[in-house]
Amino acid sequence: MSGHDMTRRRAIEVGGIAAAASLAAGGAAALGQARAPAATGQPMPDDVSLPSQPPRAPRPGSVGFAIIGLGDYALNQIMPRFARSERTHIAALVSGNPDKLRQVGEAYGVAPEARYSYERFDEIAANPAVEAVYIILPSGLHAEWTERAFAAGKHVLCEKPMALTSAECERMIAAGQRANRRLMIAYRVHFEPYNMAAMDLMREKAVGDLRLIRTEHSYRAGPSTPATNWRHNRALAGGGPLEDYGLYGLQATLYLSGEMPTRISASAHRPEGDPRFSEIFAHVAAQLHFPSGAVAQVVTSYDSAGLNLVEARGNAGALVMRPATNYNGNTLSLETGRDGRKLEPGDSEVQFAGQLNHFAAAIRDGAPIITPGEMGLRDLRLIEAIYASATSGRTVALNPDATMRG
C-alpha cells in the first residue's frame, strides 16, 4: 500500500468518506479535486521597482540561482535581497512572459541566454552557472517544478507552502534524493531575529510552563475570483488562507512549543454566493493539543480586518508578537507579572539574506538545513489533519510524525 493509499485508508477510519475525499485532494479539502494548470506568463505586477543598475559581480564561490516565477514576491522582496547575500547571486530567470523576462533580465544583468521560458526550462541542465533554483510560483505548481529542477540536476529552494498535499511533498523529497540534490523550504521567519529570539525565550522557559498559544493571520481580500487571482483558485492555492497565511501561525505553534500536537480539532467556513470563495475557504480555525497539556489556536482568514498575531502564555508570563511574521516591523514583548519588556533583537531585513546564505552553506559545505523538505511535509500533514477534522466534525488523533492515527 502506498503512503497515499495509507493516508486515504486512515482518513476513512478517522473521518469517513468525506474526509477521505478531502485528503485525496489535499488542501483543496472538502472542495473537491482540482488539477493545477500549466505555468503561464503573467504581466509585470504593479509597483515593481527594478534596480537602476545591475548588481555587482558575484564573489568567488557564490551559488548561482535561477528564479522561477517573476511575480510580486520574487520581484519586490526576494530578488532585491540577493544584493545582501554574499554567498548567492541571480544567474538565470524563468518566466512565461517574454517582455517581463527581458525587462527584468536587463535590470538584473542576466544575459539573454540565461533567460528561459517555461517551455525551454529543461535546457537549464546544460547551464553550469545555475546550481540552484528558487521556486516562487503559485503553490499548486511547486511540486511539478521542484521535480523538473531536480531532473535538471539543480538544488531547490521552494517557497512555502511546500505543495498542496503531503503526497506531493513525499514525491519532491524522493526526487531530491534520487538526484542527490538539496531541498529547502523558504520558511523565512526561521532566519528572522524577532522569531529567533522568541524561540530562544521559549526554550529558556521565559513564560514558565507553556499553557496557551494563540495565532491569527488574517486580511480582507479584494474582489478577486479564481480566474483573476490564483490565491482564490483551489488548483493553485488548495483550501486558501491556511496554506498561504495561516501556515505562519501553524509553524509558530510548533517552534514556540517545541512539541508536536497529538490531537487537532478544526472548522473551516466558505460563505455561499461570494465569488472570492467559490473554490476556497474564507476562514479556518484549528485547535492543537500538545502532549504537555498546552493548547494552541490557529486562526486564519481572507475576509476579516488584518491581524498578524502570535501570543504564547505560560504560568509565569506571556510573549506577544504583533505583528509577528512580517517582512519588517515585527514586535516582541515579554510580559511577566507587572513588567512588560519590549525586545528589539535585530533588523528583520536580515531574514532574506540569512535564508539564502543558509542554503548556500548547505550546498557548498554540506551543512544541515533547518527548514528541509521534511518540515514542509510535516506541515502539509498537519494541514490535511486540520481539513480532515473540519470536514468530519471530529477530533483527529496524530502520530508523532503528524500522520493521522488509524
The cell numbers describing 272, all together, are: 455561499
- Binding to ligand NAD by CB under 6 A, coded x per residue (else -) over 96-135, reads x---------------------------------------
Under rule CB under 6 A, residue 74 binds ligand NAD: yes
Residue pair 251/296 in contact (Cβ under 8 Å)? The answer is no
User: Within its chain, how far is the Cα of 206 from the centroid?
Assistant: 28
What kind and span of H or E run contains 363?
helix 350-365
Among 89, 115, 155, 188, binds ligand NAD (CB under 6 A): 188
By the rule CB under 6 A, 54 interacts with ligand NAD: no
Alpha carbon separation from 324 to 249, 310, 317, 377 (Å, rounded): 9, 6, 18, 23
Angle 127-87-355 from CA coordinates, rounded to 5° = 105
Which of 16, 72, 117, 361 touches ligand NAD by CB under 6 A?
A: 72
Residue 39 or 375: the one with the smaller Cβ distance to ligand NAD is 39
Q: State the minimum distance, in angstroms, from the CB of residue 291 to ligand NAD.
A: 29
C-beta of 31 vs 158, nearer to ligand NAD: 158
* Cis ω for the linkage preceding 58 (within 30 of 0): no
Whether residue 160 lies in the annotated active site: yes
Q: Are 185 and 158 in contact (CB under 8 A)?
A: yes
Binding track over 2-21 against ligand NAD, x by CB under 6 A = --------------------
Q: Which of 116, 194, 230, 387 binds ligand NAD (CB under 6 A)?
A: 230
Residue 383 makes contact with ligand NAD by CB under 6 A? no
Nearer to ligand NAD, 42 or 262 (CB): 42
Closest CA to 169 of 393, 391, 385, 372: 372
- Sheet strands side by side (includes 317-321): 339-343, 332-336, 317-321, 303-314, 210-220, 295-301, 283-289, 263-269, 396-397
CA-wise closest residue to 319 among 347, 340, 295? 340
Contact 70, 43 (CB under 8 A): no
Which lies closer to ligand NAD via its Cβ, residue 14 or residue 321? 321
> Taking CB under 6 A as the rule, does residue 169 contact ligand NAD?
no
Choice between 182 and 188, CB closer to ligand NAD: 188
Least distance from C-beta 236 to ligand NAD, angstroms?
6
Residue 14 CB contacts under 8 Å (≥ 6 apart), including other chains:
388, 392, 394, 396, 397, 404, 405, 406
Instruction: Give me the 248-287 binding string for ligand NAD, x by CB under 6 A, dash otherwise.
Output: ----------------------------------------
* The one among 168, 244, 379, 384 contacting ligand NAD by CB under 6 A: 244
Q: Does 66 bind ligand NAD (CB under 6 A)?
A: no
From CA 84, how far away is CA 56, in angstroms rounded?
11
Does position 308 interact with ligand NAD (CB under 6 A)? The reply is no
DSSP percent split of the chain into helix, strand, coil, nearest 5 = 40, 20, 35
Residues forming the active site: 160
Which residues make up the interface to ligand NAD (CB under 6 A)?
A: 37, 39-40, 42, 45, 69-74, 95-96, 136-139, 159-160, 186, 188, 230, 244
